[in-house]
Structure 1
Amino acid sequence: MIEKDNRGASGEDGQEDPVHVRTLADLARLAGVSAGTVSRALAGKELVNTETRERIQAMAREHGFRPNQMASKLRTRRTGVIGVVIPLGHEKRQQISDPFFLTLLGHLADAMTESGYDLMLSRTIPDGTSDWLERITGSGMVDGVLVIGQSDQWEVIEQVSRSYRPMVVWGHHRAGQHHVTVGTDNELGGRLAAERLIASGAKKLAFMGVTQGIEIEMRHRGARAAAEAAGVPLVHIPARLAGEEMDPLIQAALSEPLYEIDGIVAASDLIAMSALRCLHGLNRAVPREIQIVGFDDLPLAAHTSPPLSTIRQEIALGAKLMVDKLTALIGGGSAQSEITTPVLIERATTRTL
């Protein structure tokens, strides 16, 4: 029987009352098929022939029927949610509003939506144990986890990945590691930046960035290798990615006659922008007196004054790769780490070759 309201088969005006479709069973009775067929048709399964599937889907739309998503998730033991965690082990003052995080998060959110997942975001400051990650992987609230950056937590991530499979990390890949990463060849990126500055006449370089995080460490290593190969000195200025002390530290270094820096390899576009701002305040001409190369190629990099030369990370591609690899792992498949090649983007903070 099709459920109707309490007035019977016809209303007071003599017309048949509308059909109420609240459950799969209601829609199955209306369509003249089993509830299982309705469930498969609404899920788009090819086990139901095309004509029947399209008819059931049309009836569902006509009656405004929406399957009970919670019941479906309970049956499949899936939440439909991916956890995204940002560990800040060495940069505790960084915020989610950091332009790099916002750019990557935007692309991740787009890719997750296209894959039918919701996002649960967590910014965490590790406490010296693996609990910060295990609280998320063991919560039962997510189907998988994306980690943005390894910070100084490579060992923790590696340890957890051995017992929790559906996890993909944006970061640096070490030979033989267990956890799946997507990221950039950071050492090559640092080397490209330094080589570009040296090629256009820089005689003394500075690398600006704190190297406790593995990605920044590798950028520094690449810049140092290029400087050593060319016989050019390179000083290290531990400028942080965030915090009120960043500008004063950079300004003090750039004001120090002992350094006589004429080329800057910045560990991020944000640090490069801070250096550019300080140089404007010191009336130092960029790039005539001092050149700068950033790292990331954030959307803001093209809009500084002058526009910032930088090393591009393929952030949009990386986000898609992360989600694709994670959904494969959630589905029981396999995934391999992937390292993308950085590209030098030349703008106006480097001199023309």
Structure 2
Amino acid sequence: MLRPTLADVARAAGVSTATASRVLNGFPRVSPQRRKQVESAMLALGYARQRAARATTSRQTGSIALVVCEEVPRLFTDPYFPRIAAGVGRELTAVGLQLVLLTVPATDDYQEPVLRYLDGGHVDGALVVGMHGRRPLDVGWLGIPVVFGGRPVQAGRSDRLSYVDADNQGGARLATQRLLDGGRQTVATIAGPQDMTAGVDRLLGYRQAVARAGRYDDGLVVFGDFGQASGDYATSRLLSRRPDVDGIFAASDMMAVGALRALRRAGRKVPEDVAVVGFDDLPISSWTDPPLTTVRQPVEEMGARMTGELLALIDGSPARRCTVLDTQLVPRKSA
């Protein structure tokens, strides 16, 4: 007989899996009525966590899940995710393990089937990338090891979760300093989503650099979603309200590509009128006109390191494992 999962408990209690997880983990923000419903369902089903038994048993299924928390179209249009998957796949192939790809749009309805699958004994561990804070994937209760790509966004719980990240703050400071050192007087940023730690950290790095130079101006901050269209739109808005802008740090290469398009449409030459620096060092950054100065984050290495950390956890390492990889400026002709 299959043991009941937390998803079964949630279904019996008439609540979401996330709510059942919060009850199980002792989180305070659950109403007494729902807490009672969950506890009653756990008792009726005979639910037991069994975290230790599964976590200490090495490689039962021979499969690892890569969980991508993004809409499916974004998975195939944003080069970040294939590069992460390439690093993951390389490491798994070397040890003879299979990769299972799971996609999770940022809604509760779509999270529950994935969480049920992860808790169902199908995989030995999970790698999670693309985390948003609006509806974070609640994996803390699962009986398998989990490693995040990027510092996780769960408030108050990132000190208990394993992750591999890039130095987003430091890279953003390098990018902004490049513009300042080039003599740019009015340096703006197209910041990334503020419900993702990469977006938050890159904005913070920009703010640190311009504040140190005595040039901080909140009116020079616009926001995008890391995608090309948002970079185009944000740059057009920026130019309409601040035509004196002569430097732009875009928090992703795809937003920088959109910025170049908007600047060209507005008759601004790059870098003569406006210098542009991106972040990621995607292949497209070498093909833009002019080639894009950017910050390289080692995406494939992040995927490989995430996999190595996860395998160590699966094989019995008891410690939380956190790694931050260096970033570096790649100078080209846009700044």
TM-score, length-normalised on structure 2? 0.73
Alignment equivalent of 1:87, drawn from 66, 69, 73: 69
* Identity %, equivalent residues: 31
1:78 to 2:63 alignment: no
Structure number with greater CO (CA < 8 Å, separation at least 6) is 2
Alignment equivalent of 1:230, drawn from 213, 216, 222: 213
Q: CA deviation at 1:92?
A: 8.8
> What does residue 284 of structure 1 align with?
268
Does the CA contact (< 8 Å) of 1:94 and 1:243 recur in 2? Answer: no
Which is richer in helix?
2
| Secondary structure of 1:95's aligned partner | helix
Name the CA distance, whole Å, in 2 between partners of 1:349 and 1:136.
46
> What does residue 212 of structure 1 align with?
195
Identify unmatched segments of 5+ residues in structure 1. Answer: 1-74
Letter in 1 for 2:294: T
> What does residue 131 of structure 2 align with?
150
For the aligned residue pairs, the C-alpha RMSD in angstroms reads: 2.7
In the comparison of the two structures, how many residue pairs are matched? Answer: 271
Name the CA distance, whole Å, in 1 between partners of 2:296 and 2:230.
26
Q: CA deviation at 1:148?
A: 1.1
| Secondary structure of 1:183's aligned partner | strand
Alignment equivalent of 1:101, drawn from 81, 104, 109: 81
Identify unmatched segments of 5+ residues in structure 2. Answer: 1-56
| Secondary structure of 1:161's aligned partner | coil
Alignment equivalent of 1:316, drawn from 288, 292, 300: 300
> What does residue 196 of structure 1 align with?
178
Q: CA deviation at 1:180?
A: 0.7
Name the CA distance, whole Å, in 2 between partners of 1:92 and 1:262.
36
Name the CA distance, whole Å, in 2 between partners of 1:76 and 1:107.
22
Closer/same/farther in 2, CA of residues 118 and 264 from structure 1, 3 Å limit: same
> What does residue 105 of structure 2 align with?
125
Closer/same/farther in 2, CA of residues 76 and 152 from structure 1, 3 Å limit: closer
Task: Report Cα offsets for 1:165-216 as digits up to 9, x if no partner.
Answer: 4111110279961111101121111111111111111111221133221111
Task: Report Cα offsets for 1:125-145 as digits up to 9, x if no partner.
Answer: 233597476334313211110
Does the CA contact (< 8 Å) of 1:173 and 1:337 recur in 2? Answer: no
Does the CA contact (< 8 Å) of 2:131 and 2:152 recur in 1? Answer: no
Name the CA distance, whole Å, in 1 between partners of 2:265 and 2:311.
48
Q: CA deviation at 1:334?
A: 4.1
Q: CA deviation at 1:308?
A: 0.9
Name the CA distance, whole Å, in 1 between partners of 2:117 and 2:202.
30
| Secondary structure of 2:76's aligned partner | coil
Closer/same/farther in 2, CA of residues 346 and 118 from structure 1, 3 Å limit: same
Does the CA contact (< 8 Å) of 1:96 and 1:123 recur in 2? Answer: no
Task: Report Cα offsets for 1:22-44 as digits up to 9, x if no partner.
Answer: xxxxxxxxxxxxxxxxxxxxxxx
Closer/same/farther in 2, CA of residues 214 and 128 from structure 1, 3 Å limit: farther
Does the CA contact (< 8 Å) of 1:169 and 1:182 recur in 2? Answer: yes
> What does residue 96 of structure 2 align with?
116
TM-score, length-normalised on structure 1? 0.69
1:169 to 2:148 alignment: yes
Name the CA distance, whole Å, in 1 between partners of 2:309 and 2:92.
12
Alignment equivalent of 2:250, drawn from 259, 266, 271: 266
Closer/same/farther in 2, CA of residues 261 and 164 from structure 1, 3 Å limit: farther
Name the CA distance, whole Å, in 2 between partners of 1:265 and 1:162.
39
Task: Report Cα offsets for 1:280-319 as digits up to 9, x if no partner.
Answer: 2222111111111111111221221111111111112212
Does the CA contact (< 8 Å) of 2:118 and 2:142 recur in 1? Answer: no
Task: Report Cα offsets for 1:105-160 as digits up to 9, x if no partner.
Answer: 2222222212211111122123359747633431321111001132216x955x63
Name the CA distance, whole Å, in 1 between partners of 2:306 and 2:112.
23
Name the CA distance, whole Å, in 1 between partners of 2:230 and 2:170.
29
Does the CA contact (< 8 Å) of 2:176 and 2:206 recur in 1? Answer: yes
Letter in 2 for 1:134: L
> What does residue 26 of structure 1 align with?
none
Letter in 2 for 1:172: R
More displaced stretch, 220-229 vs 119-128? 119-128
Closer/same/farther in 2, CA of residues 266 and 128 from structure 1, 3 Å limit: same
Q: CA deviation at 1:259?
A: 4.5
Name the CA distance, whole Å, in 2 between partners of 1:202 and 1:340.
29
